[in-house]
């Protein structure tokens, strides 16, 4: 999706590369491309050379997803608020802590450097200012979706999955929590 337009006000057809683009999401009419070159069931699966629309059923429009490149990172509500929180399981953080970071109420340590700080630890703005005075530029702490994104980028799923499989011993509660984390991480793999 590259344009903010939705539909053409004269033709009532979706704008190309817009929010309702037929090329991205699928045809408006069953087994008919946007320009009308291919009609009927016999052309099923054909992609029109003129308009670029695949000739198929319209219900695919409900299943297909578009993608918009944003200038700044943001966290999707599906991964944050679904129970259990997918972000919380992958990062092994509480939903409350993730929300504090995402809503710019707290910092998360991304790179502790040579300081006694721990990665994934949460600190308020006052704590951050105090640590900045104490350690200078020795550590990196971020807030907002940028901090969460950085933590996710630095995470190695294969190593984390192996570690979780090895930690499946111990208390029943720990095994249950690790199995939930393992299931989500394997789905992202």
**Ramachandran angles phi, psi of 140, nearest 5°:** -120, 125
In this structure, the answer to whether residues 81 and 144 fall within a common structural domain is yes
Picking from 18, 35, 69, the residue at the C-terminal end of a domain is 69
In this structure, the answer to whether residues 151 and 96 fall within a common structural domain is yes
Laid out side by side, the sheet with 122-123 consists of 122-123, 107-111, 140-142
In this structure, the answer to whether residues 132 and 162 fall within a common structural domain is no
pLDDT at residue 142, rounded to an integer? 92
pLDDT at residue 124, rounded to an integer? 92
Picking from 11, 37, 69, the residue at the C-terminal end of a domain is 69
In this structure, the answer to whether residues 74 and 145 fall within a common structural domain is yes
For 34-51, how does the pLDDT look when each residue is reduced to its tens digit (9 = 90+)?
888 888 888 888 898 888
pLDDT at residue 126, rounded to an integer? 92
In this structure, the answer to whether residues 19 and 82 fall within a common structural domain is no
In this structure, the answer to whether residues 87 and 99 fall within a common structural domain is yes
For 49-87, how does the pLDDT look when each residue is reduced to its tens digit (9 = 90+)?
888 898 999 889 888 888 788 888 888 888 888 888 888
Picking from 25, 54, 69, the residue at the C-terminal end of a domain is 69
In this structure, the answer to whether residues 168 and 134 fall within a common structural domain is no
The three-state DSSP-derived secondary structure of the chain is CCCCCCECCCCCCECCCCCCCHHHHCCCECCECCCCCCECHHHCCCECCCCCCECCCHHHHHCCCCCCCCCCCCCCHHHHHCCCCHHHHHHCCCHHHHHHHHCCCCEEEEECCCCCCCCCCEECHHHHHHHHHHHCCCCEEECCHHHHHHHHHHCCHHHHHHHHHHCCCCCHHHHHHHHHHHHHHHHHC
pTM across the whole model: 0.66
In this structure, the answer to whether residues 5 and 60 fall within a common structural domain is yes
pLDDT at residue 9, rounded to an integer? 87
Q: Is 146 exposed, middle or buried (0-12, 13-18, 19+ CB in 10 A)?
A: middle
In this structure, the answer to whether residues 86 and 113 fall within a common structural domain is yes
In this structure, the answer to whether residues 129 and 181 fall within a common structural domain is no
Query: Domain residues for 64?
Result: 1-69
Split into its structural domains, the chain has a count of: 3
In this structure, the answer to whether residues 6 and 62 fall within a common structural domain is yes
Q: Which of 29-33, 85-89, 127-131, 164-168 has the lowest mean pLDDT?
A: 164-168
pLDDT at residue 107, rounded to an integer? 93
């Amino acid at each position: 999706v590259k344009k903010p337009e939705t539909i053409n006000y004269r033709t009532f057809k979706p704008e190309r590369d817009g929010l309702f683009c037929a090329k991205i999401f699928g045809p408006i009419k069953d087994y008919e491309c946007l320009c009308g070159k291919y009609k009927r069931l016999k052309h099923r699966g054909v992609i029109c050379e003129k308009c670029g629309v695949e000739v198929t059923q319209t219900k695919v429009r409900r299943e297909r997803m578009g993608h918009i490149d944003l200038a700044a990172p943001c966290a999707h509500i599906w991964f944050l608020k679904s129970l259990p929180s997918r972000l919380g399981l992958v990062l092994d953080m509480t939903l409350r802590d993730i929300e504090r970071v995402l809503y710019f109420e707290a910092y998360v340590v991304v790179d502790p450097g040579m300081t006694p700080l721990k990665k994934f630890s949460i600190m308020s703005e006052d704590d951050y200012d105090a640590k900045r005075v104490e350690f200078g530029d020795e550590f990196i702490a971020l807030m907002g979706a940028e901090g969460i994104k950085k933590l996710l980028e630095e995470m190695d799923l294969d190593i984390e999955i192996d570690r979780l499989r090895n930690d499946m011993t111990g208390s029943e509660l720990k095994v249950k929590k690790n199995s939930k984390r393992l299931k989500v991480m394997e789905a992202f793999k």
